[in-house]
Structure 1
Amino acid sequence: MELLPLFLTALALGLLGGGHCIGMCGGLMGALTLAIPADQRQGWPLWRVLLGYNFGRIASYSVAGALLGSLGWLIQDLGLGQGLRVLAGLLMIAMGLYLANWWAGLTRIERLGRGLWKHIEPRARKLLPVTRLPQAILLGSLWGWLPCGLVYSTLVWASSQGDAVLSAGLMATFGLGTLPTLLATGLLANRMMALLRKRLVRITAGLMIILFGIWTIPGPHTAWVMGGQHGTHEHPATPHSGH
């Protein structure tokens, strides 16, 4: 049962980050929709391609989670696990501050991924226009590497669990949490954008992510939140010892 809070946290991060998702990927999602031939932009043909995009995107999150989860295991094996947890918590707090419109410093972290994205974007453009499902999945898998502070902060948090498989699963769950926002189209997208732009909604989402960040940072408060369980293990032997 110790895994349940982790997966619920990952899902909540995806859901609460909806405002950032629309800002970062809403325009891209619209462009990808327009890249579908006009006669396929309705009904099941449209949804099949949209789901293909997002399947590929979430798959790339999982791959990144597995890669960084392996690195997180190595870092914990070197006795630096608490440092990684502190970094993950601070990044999550920065994301909460960004969502609440209190501090935009997280956008500087997104610049770190722009070098990689410059090499990926030309390959993604070659897949347009999208006419087949495998094409949509491949394009989505490239889209998943778009520089994004929300993804980066969640990725570091997931990798701090020190287990490649668990990290991959957490990133997949996070990706599922972003689906409602990124699948919304037309009038529904406009309504969702209006909702996510409301100050109270943004502040509430930001505060909740800040609390997740504080919970992630090792310390006495973590044991208190978890009802007396210790959350600062240096060498988790199994995925169950992440928190």
Structure 2
Amino acid sequence: MLVSAFILGLLGSFHCVGMCGPIAFMLPVDRSNSIKKVSQIAIYHFGRLLAYSVIGLIFGLIGKSLYIFGFQQQLSIIIGVIMILIVVVPQQTFNKYNFSKPIFKAISKVKNALGAALKKKTLDAFLSIGFLNGFLPCGLVYMALFAAIAGGDALNGSLYMAVFGLGTIPLMTTAIYFSHFLKGKARQRIQKVIPVVVVIIGALFILRGLGLGIPYLSPAPVHDMVANGMNCH
């Protein structure tokens, strides 16, 4: 499933550029020193990956608690269905409900801290910008978090989100260097592919949750494998 995380991050970064692109364009990088510029961008990305990993760790713990109660297979199916519904159901339906309202104050604080960090040029400022950037609301990040919960383990959740973040690095780096490169029909075409990828990933989670006994793709439930092992003896 880590491959799906990278693909979701790679293709989803076209959406991320639209949402977080202004932050990338505004990064106070040193444009007179290419080596220093590269190190600043690397620290910025490290901050984002760190934020994603922390969030993945938290949601992975949630998935682990559900796993302990025996809901792992059902959780994978539910998350797969949710991912597909988010793509299939018209956006207007979701716009009727403001799910982010309860955490609006927290998001405002993140934005204020981000604005203050963008005025600095120290290395720790780039780390802060990247870390805070990772906590801004983003539909693609929410998708990845659903997958992190289905991982059923804190480490798996953190790793999934880290790999998702790695997938966003190529395009986000391009956005920093070439702000006008990511416009036009190519971007629009790839944005159309993103919902298809999300549906495929959702279908994979459903398939995994069904426990059909297909190695790697839809492994049998743990209790079934234990029972089969006992029968062999």
Structure 2 equivalent of residue 202 of structure 1: 191
Note the alpha carbon deviations across 1:121-152, whole angstroms, 9 max, x for none.
Answer: 22222323232212211221111100011101
Note the alpha carbon deviations across 1:93-121, whole angstroms, 9 max, x for none.
Answer: 256559xxx74666767736544211222
The TM-score, its normalising length taken from structure 2, stands at 0.79
Indicate which of 219, 222, 232 corresponds to 1:230. 219
Contact 1:110–1:148 (CA under 8 A) maintained in structure 2? no
Structure 2 vs 1, CA of residues 228 and 59 (structure 1 numbering), >3 Å: closer, same or farther? closer
Indicate which of 144, 147, 163 corresponds to 2:134. 144
> 1:232 Cα shift?
5.5
Note the alpha carbon deviations across 1:164-221, whole angstroms, 9 max, x for none.
Answer: 11111111110000011111137744333322213xx333332122111111125787
Contact 1:82–1:234 (CA under 8 A) maintained in structure 2? no
Structure 2 equivalent of residue 84 of structure 1: 75
Counterparts in 2 of 1:1-243, with a 5 A limit? 6-31=1-26, 33=27, 35-36=28-29, 40-42=30-32, 43-94=34-85, 96=87, 103=91, 111=100, 114-185=104-175, 188-194=178-184, 195-198=186-189, 201-218=190-207, 223=212, 229-230=218-219
How far apart, in 1, do the equivalents of 2:183 and 2:99 lie?
A: 22
How far apart, in 1, do the equivalents of 2:188 and 2:212 lie?
A: 35
How far apart, in 1, do the equivalents of 2:46 and 2:99 lie?
A: 23
Q: Which has the larger radius of gyration?
A: 2
Structure 2 vs 1, CA of residues 70 and 59 (structure 1 numbering), >3 Å: closer, same or farther? same
SS at match of 1:185: helix
The unaligned stretches of length 5 or more in structure 1 are: 1-5, 236-243
Structure 2 vs 1, CA of residues 128 and 20 (structure 1 numbering), >3 Å: closer, same or farther? closer
The TM-score, its normalising length taken from structure 1, stands at 0.77
How far apart, in 2, do the equivalents of 1:220 and 1:7 lie?
A: 16
How far apart, in 2, do the equivalents of 1:126 and 1:187 lie?
A: 22
> 1:53 Cα shift?
1.3
Q: Identify the range of structure 1 (6-15 vs 214-223) with the bigger mean alpha-carbon deviation.
A: 214-223
Structure 2 vs 1, CA of residues 19 and 81 (structure 1 numbering), >3 Å: closer, same or farther? same
Note the alpha carbon deviations across 1:69-98, whole angstroms, 9 max, x for none.
Answer: 111100121233344323422343256559
The unaligned stretches of length 5 or more in structure 2 are: 225-233
Structure 2 vs 1, CA of residues 56 and 227 (structure 1 numbering), >3 Å: closer, same or farther? closer
Structure 2 equivalent of residue 3 of structure 1: none
How far apart, in 1, do the equivalents of 2:125 and 2:213 lie?
A: 48
Structure 2 vs 1, CA of residues 144 and 213 (structure 1 numbering), >3 Å: closer, same or farther? same
